[in-house]
Chains A and B, each alone.
Chain A
């Protein structure tokens, strides 16, 4: 496969030469509780077994804004435009200081959500689609975007059987559509799914039916991702490639995996527990 340089959706970020970005950028999108982080963890283990260095990243994990977003979510005054822009700040920090340096170093970057969740949440809150799409235009166009799609009843049963309770923000309680968390969750997630659906063809999402078992979803993802690599095997169902156990070591770029990513002006630790 002849690699074309990655592109930006809108105006390029200052000081980024996309021809230097040798890695692969793979996005896993989907509504809350659809099982994205499970799949990211399994894909990571599988890719690393195959000898590929992986960076995984996700929303509100930036060194700059992660803490601030967590604190804002704990308060009761997180306005919709403020929320959209705080998440955009978080994304920009991770893009410029984690994702791009890792791509430069030839890593596979697996990201749990991308700009599409930020856009969907903004749309669900009545913000202008063109406004937020333009704001998010500094994002790189990924090699592939997998949209794990399931309907609201599937999400509900995953919340009930999984974590066992509804989350305030995942239920979109800030929209004030209902004081009941279940009702609000159902309405809000339906809005998010509609918004993601509406972006699907425009952004070229590869839709995966996520109403099935995690194994079946994983198998689809593996088969699809394998096409980006010449040296990789799809594991058979039920065979290895479990998520890495408990403590993930601090994320360091291993020596000998190409040049360490250069992130001038700072050297922040990038420790992040496995999701």
Chain B
């Protein structure tokens, strides 16, 4: 469906993203990959989900006071994403960097739909996003991920556990049900989105080796289409103006 298509990458740089449920080990793997690329002399830029300084305080307020509905939760994350896109990811890709993003629009596709937002609406919402060159999906059975999360840190937070969905009053149980549904969404979109699926139950080394092989192969063969003189999409036109201003 045309409305849900991401923008093609017309820039010099590349975009690599990782997806997976909490506890799948994707952040660890992405930072190891970034190390690898830097060591090879590749310029690397890094962007994490939900990290825009412009939006941070609003998200914090909403979470602390439990003010979010599924719609506002979805919109504020899209706002955060847009800010990182306009201010960081696009300029870095224009400059020729390999941008590594820890979670991307697919996180919203999975999570917001589980929260009850319309699938078509979320996909349209992120239509301004650039299509990644490589998207890794760290697939892990629910119980393994939960074991890692519960063993590794403090209490699970309200929205992380999907407590706003009212699935269970027990945080761990709610987390289990919520992540289980997100896992189903990821699995359902994996083929359509062309995810490279990594078996995240394997050793860290084995997963990393697999990732590096894929990255070497993909980044070597496919230079992006040349940057046209006039940027192609209207979003990038607006963005270019902003950068100049």
Known: A64-B61, A128-B127, A130-B3. A11 touches B82 (CB 8 A): no
- Kindly identify which residue among B71, B76, B127 contacts A131, using a CB–CB cutoff of 8 Å: B127
Binds B, one of A71-79, A197-205, A211-219, A221-229: A71-79
A126 within 8 A of B: yes
A89 within 8 A of B: yes
Binds A, one of B116-124, B131-139, B196-204, B207-215: B116-124
Least Cβ distance of A89 to chain B in Å? 4
Known: A68-B57, A75-B54, A131-B124. A81 touches B65 (CB 8 A): no
Q: Is the CB of B86 within 8 A of A175?
A: no
Please name 21 pairs of A and B residues whose Cβ atoms are closer than 8 Å in the assembled complex, sorted by A.
Answer: A11-B121, A13-B71, A14-B71, A14-B116, A63-B67, A64-B58, A67-B57, A68-B61, A77-B54, A79-B82, A79-B242, A80-B86, A82-B79, A86-B55, A92-B72, A96-B69, A97-B69, A128-B127, A128-B234, A135-B125, A176-B245
Q: Which residues of B contact A72 (CB under 8 A)?
A: 54
A87 to B116 alpha-carbon distance, docked (Å): 22
Q: Which residues of A contact B238 (CB under 8 A)?
A: 80-81, 125-127
Q: Which residues of A contact B237 (CB under 8 A)?
A: 126
Least Cβ distance of B215 to chain A in Å? 28
Chain B 104-127, CB-CB to A under 8 Å as 1, else 0, gives: 000000000000111011001101
B22 within 8 A of A: no
Question: Which residues 1-51 of A sit at the B interface, judged by CB distance below 8 A?
Answer: 10-11, 13-15
Least Cβ distance of B103 to chain A in Å? 17
Q: Is the CB of A67 within 8 A of B79?
A: no
Residues of A within 8 A of B (CB): 10-11, 13-15, 63-65, 67-68, 71-72, 75, 77-82, 84-86, 88-89, 92-93, 96-97, 125-128, 130-131, 134-135, 137-138, 173-176, 265-266, 268
* CB < 8 Å A-B pair total: 131
- Kindly identify which residue among B67, B69, B86, B124 contacts A82, using a CB–CB cutoff of 8 Å: B86
Question: Which residues 22-74 of B sit at the A interface, judged by CB distance below 8 A?
Answer: 52, 54-55, 57-58, 61-62, 65-72
B16 within 8 A of A: no
Q: Is the CB of B82 within 8 A of A85?
A: yes
Q: Which residues of B contact A84 (CB under 8 A)?
A: 82
SS class, residues of chain B in contact with chain A: helix
Please give me the residue from chain A that is nearest to B245 by CB atom.
A176
A68 to B32 alpha-carbon distance, docked (Å): 34
Q: Which residues of A contact B55 (CB under 8 A)?
A: 68, 82, 86
Q: Is the CB of B67 within 8 A of A64?
A: yes
A218 to B241 alpha-carbon distance, docked (Å): 39
Known: A79-B242, A89-B75, A89-B79. A14 touches B70 (CB 8 A): yes
SS class, residues of chain A in contact with chain B: helix
- Kindly identify which residue among B69, B87, B125 contacts A79, using a CB–CB cutoff of 8 Å: B87
Least Cβ distance of A9 to chain B in Å? 11
Least Cβ distance of A138 to chain B in Å? 6
B183 within 8 A of A: no
Least Cβ distance of A82 to chain B in Å? 4
Known: A64-B58, A134-B124, A176-B245. A85 touches B75 (CB 8 A): yes
Q: Is the CB of A79 within 8 A of B83?
A: yes
B12 within 8 A of A: no
Known: A79-B83, A92-B71, A134-B124. A71 touches B242 (CB 8 A): no
A220 to B70 alpha-carbon distance, docked (Å): 39
Among all A-B residue pairs, the 3 with the closest Cβ atoms: A176-B245, A79-B86, A68-B58
Known: A64-B62, A96-B71. A79 touches B239 (CB 8 A): yes
Q: Is the CB of B75 within 8 A of A11?
A: no
Besides A89-B72, A176-B241, 11 more A-B contacts (Cβ < 8 Å) are: A10-B118, A65-B58, A67-B57, A71-B57, A79-B82, A82-B79, A82-B86, A89-B58, A89-B76, A97-B69, A127-B238
A82 to B124 alpha-carbon distance, docked (Å): 15
Please give me the residue from chain B that is nearest to A81 by CB atom.
B82
A125 to B234 alpha-carbon distance, docked (Å): 9
Least Cβ distance of B129 to chain A in Å? 10
A125 to B239 alpha-carbon distance, docked (Å): 9
Most chain A CB within 10 A, of B58, B117, B124, is at B58
A96 to B67 alpha-carbon distance, docked (Å): 11
